[in-house]
Amino acid sequence: MTKDISRRGLLLLLLAAVLIWFGNLEYRKLIRPDEGRYAEIPREMVASGDWTTPRLNELKYFEKPPLQYWATAVAYEVFGEHQWTSRLWTALTGFAGILLAWFAGTRLFGREAGIYAALLLGSSMLYAMMAHINTLDMGVTFFITLGIFSLLLAQREEHDMQRRNWMLLAWAALALSVLSKGLMGLVLPGAALFLYSVFNRDIRIWTRMHWLSGLLVFFLIATPWFVLVMRANPEFFHFFFIHEHLERFTTKVHGRFQPWYYFVPILLLGMLPWTPLMFDALLRSWRSGRQKLKEFSAVRFLLVWTVFIYVFFSISDSKLPSYLLPMFPPLALLMGKRIAETSSRRLFWLTVPVLAVVATLLGIIPFAARMSADTPLQQQMYGNYSAWLLVAAALWLVGTAAALWLLRREKKMAAVIVLAFSSLAAAQLATSGYNAIAPERSSYILADAIRPLVKPDVPFYSVFCYEQTLPFYLKRTFTLVDYQDEMAFGIEMEPERWIPSADQLARRWSTQAEAYAIVPAPLLYILQQQGMAMKEIYRDEQYVVVSKP
């Protein structure tokens, strides 16, 4: 029971969580493509001084709004350009989400449920791992969560002033979610609210939204950047609102099409070690909410939100594992409430399958590593990574067994703490161990090798490729040659910033006193066929870097 945990004990748990959560941000090298991209865009903001128009490799990049770029750029200005500062916003918003789950869970369902919700959210595999990988999904998840939790807290307030303050916070959070990743920050909560009001036959919630003051707050926060960027870039509107939103959801234009069941294994594995509890909590929430129609039900709203997010992204033509993250904080509240209400005995039987899953993972890790390797370098890297995974799985197994032992002795809170911290530690070990694969997923070795040889004011061409992590490590941009990919729009807007073909590069190369080029190793022969005078200064299994002799 929570009465067994003193205030000092809770503070010690919080300190331990902080140390484990933030301890490995600098350890791992940046991994392409996302970590390189979202580290580089803020770096270019700082270098150029233009915080209105996001650029990647000096090309306009309008796929996402700028809030995380701004936050990371501020971290660069204050602490310097490091791997940990590039990941700081993601880690901070992930940890803030845990504190938010504790606060909202406590206010809505009681102190014990709030503590459980925080423990469950911070130790769910997908949530813990994505909070340490530099993408935009954790930031938008935090602000959407802040918005819907503030809405729930507002609805339970009887005093107009408190309800108004919570609703204004909800509107502000939704505006920040739009600035984090676009219109999904407004569309998803709005659709969930509509579905809730239909299923629960509750229309009073629409009269308690403080529309006038709320919309004023929303537009005051969300609008200025959109006005500024469209004034500076008239082409922004069509690309951002039509291409990046409507076409992303309704077409396969982004090449992320997956079948409808794509998220099934991701949810089952990503919610570990709480997957059986998740199903139990969802079923109990459905049953408990059926008799509360026409009056506001936080449980019912959280249930509708969870199911809606899963269905929405399952029918979308664009799918990535991180898209499920907005499900996790509401699920944590439902599961925290369920643990607070259930017995140690029932939780014991909900945890037993987890022991079997973790034991199975421990057994298959060495074989999976060997089967995945195709080259001697991969055999070495994957073997090193499997050692990390084995330690992580062993720790997780011990923690699960210890939790089961504690549950048999009716020590539910201690069991949940042990299982949560062993799961978080296992997730951090697995994430940190991925550094063993960095030599083929990151350019830090290449950058370290050529940095003493590359002059900052000499042209550097990236031919048939764009290695996403290299600009951040070298602190410079490149001229693309016969390569567009996600920078196609920027190239279309500013075609003078690239070279369309190898023969045009050859002509320019011949006129320059000094120049560098990076090219995929198998394609170097194309430059040789152009008769380009080159001196090889670096080579690995993926790339060759050359200079003028």
Whether 318 and 365 share a structural domain? no
Whether 71 and 183 share a structural domain? yes
Nearest-angstrom CA–CA distance, 246 and 459: 38
- The residues with which 519 forms a beta bridge, in sequence order, are 544
- Structure confidence at residue 1 (pLDDT): 42
CB atoms within 10 A of CB 53: 16
126 vs 260 pLDDT, higher one = 126
- Structure confidence at residue 251 (pLDDT): 53
Range with lowest mean pLDDT among 78-87, 311-320, 406-415: 311-320
Q: How confident is the model at residue 286 (pLDDT cuts 50, 70, 90)?
A: confident
Per the structure, the count of domains in the chain is: 3
Burial of 13 (0-12, 13-18, 19+ CB in 10 A): middle
CB atoms within 10 A of CB 276: 19
Instruction: Please check whether residue 55 lies inside any domain of the structure.
Output: no
Range with lowest mean pLDDT among 27-41, 290-304, 520-534: 290-304
* Beta-carbon-side half-sphere exposure of residue 367 (alpha carbons within 13 Å): 5
Q: How confident is the model at residue 121 (pLDDT cuts 50, 70, 90)?
A: very high
Q: Looking at the predicted structure, is the pLDDT value of residue 247 above 70? A: no
Instruction: Please check whether residue 44 lies inside any domain of the structure.
Output: no
Whether 278 and 161 share a structural domain? yes
What's the mean pLDDT when you consider all of the chain? 91
Whether 125 and 209 share a structural domain? yes
Of 441, 470, 499, the residue at which a domain comes to its end is 441
Q: Looking at the predicted structure, is the pLDDT value of residue 250 above 80? A: no
User: Taking residues 263-282, what's their average pLDDT?
Assistant: 95
- Structure confidence at residue 290 (pLDDT): 57
114 Cβ contact partners less than 8 Å away, ≥ 6 residues apart: 101, 102, 103, 104, 105, 106, 107, 336
Amino acid in position 518: I
Closest CA to 154 of 212, 111, 218, 207: 207
Whether 193 and 147 share a structural domain? yes
Burial of 137 (0-12, 13-18, 19+ CB in 10 A): buried
Whether 143 and 288 share a structural domain? yes
Q: Looking at the predicted structure, is the pLDDT value of residue 447 above 90? A: yes
Instruction: Please check whether residue 31 lies inside any domain of the structure.
Output: no
Instruction: Please check whether residue 229 lies inside any domain of the structure.
Output: yes
Burial of 224 (0-12, 13-18, 19+ CB in 10 A): exposed
Nearest-angstrom CA–CA distance, 544 and 236: 36
Q: How confident is the model at residue 30 (pLDDT cuts 50, 70, 90)?
A: very high
User: Taking residues 269-289, what's their average pLDDT?
Assistant: 90
Instruction: Please check whether residue 477 lies inside any domain of the structure.
Output: yes
Whether 171 and 301 share a structural domain? yes
Closest CA to 347 of 291, 417, 398: 417
Q: What is the pLDDT of residues 414-429, one digit of tens each?
A: 999 999 999 999 999 9
User: Taking residues 464-480, what's their average pLDDT?
Assistant: 96
Whether 325 and 363 share a structural domain? no
- Structure confidence at residue 3 (pLDDT): 47
Nearest-angstrom CA–CA distance, 24 and 34: 18
Whether 448 and 431 share a structural domain? no
Instruction: Please check whether residue 28 lies inside any domain of the structure.
Output: no
- Structure confidence at residue 378 (pLDDT): 79
What does the DSSP assignment read for 347-394? HHHHHHHHHHHHHHHHHHHHHHHHHH--SHHHHHHHHHHHHHHHHHHH
Whether 127 and 238 share a structural domain? yes
Q: What is the pLDDT of residues 73-112, one digit of tens each?
A: 999 999 999 999 999 999 999 999 999 999 999 999 999 9
Q: What is the DSSP letter of 537?
A: E
Closest CA to 103 of 332, 257, 267: 332
- Structure confidence at residue 257 (pLDDT): 63
Closest CA to 351 of 275, 286, 445: 275
Q: Percent of the chain scored above 90 by pLDDT?
A: 77
- Structure confidence at residue 207 (pLDDT): 87
Closest CA to 173 of 197, 154, 198: 154
User: Taking residues 372-395, what's their average pLDDT?
Assistant: 86
- Structure confidence at residue 8 (pLDDT): 84
Of 441, 456, 476, the residue at which a domain comes to its end is 441
Nearest-angstrom CA–CA distance, 466 and 474: 13
Cβ(122)–Cβ(134) under 8 Å? no
Of 421, 441, 461, the residue at which a domain comes to its end is 441
Cβ(161)–Cβ(169) under 8 Å? no
Q: What angle do CA 220, 223, 228 make, to 5 degrees?
A: 125
250 vs 397 pLDDT, higher one = 397
Q: Looking at the predicted structure, is the pLDDT value of residue 355 above 80? A: yes
Instruction: Please check whether residue 394 lies inside any domain of the structure.
Output: yes
* Beta-carbon-side half-sphere exposure of residue 252 (alpha carbons within 13 Å): 4
Which pair of structure tokens corresponds to residue 367? 């074989």
- Structure confidence at residue 249 (pLDDT): 56
Whether 527 and 432 share a structural domain? no
Nearest-angstrom CA–CA distance, 152 and 330: 11
Which structural domain, as residue segments, surrounds residue 133?
Answer: 62-342
Range with lowest mean pLDDT among 164-168, 379-383, 498-502: 379-383
Q: How confident is the model at residue 293 (pLDDT cuts 50, 70, 90)?
A: low
Amino acid in position 15: L
Range with lowest mean pLDDT among 158-162, 228-232, 285-289, 487-491: 285-289
Nearest-angstrom CA–CA distance, 163 and 173: 15
User: Taking residues 7-36, what's their average pLDDT?
Assistant: 93
Beta pairing class for 479-481 and 498-499:
parallel
Q: What is the pLDDT of residues 195-231, one digit of tens each?
A: 998 888 888 889 889 999 999 999 999 999 999 999 9
Q: Looking at the predicted structure, is the pLDDT value of residue 381 above 90? A: no
Sign of the torsion formed by the C-alpha atoms of 371, 388, 403 and 421: negative
Q: What is the pLDDT of residues 48-68, one digit of tens each?
A: 999 999 999 999 999 999 999
Q: How confident is the model at residue 2 (pLDDT cuts 50, 70, 90)?
A: very low
User: Taking residues 298-316, what's their average pLDDT?
Assistant: 91
- Structure confidence at residue 135 (pLDDT): 95
Q: What is the pLDDT of residues 494-538, one digit of tens each?
A: 999 999 999 999 999 999 999 999 999 999 999 999 999 999 999
Instruction: Please check whether residue 27 lies inside any domain of the structure.
Output: no
Whether 426 and 510 share a structural domain? no
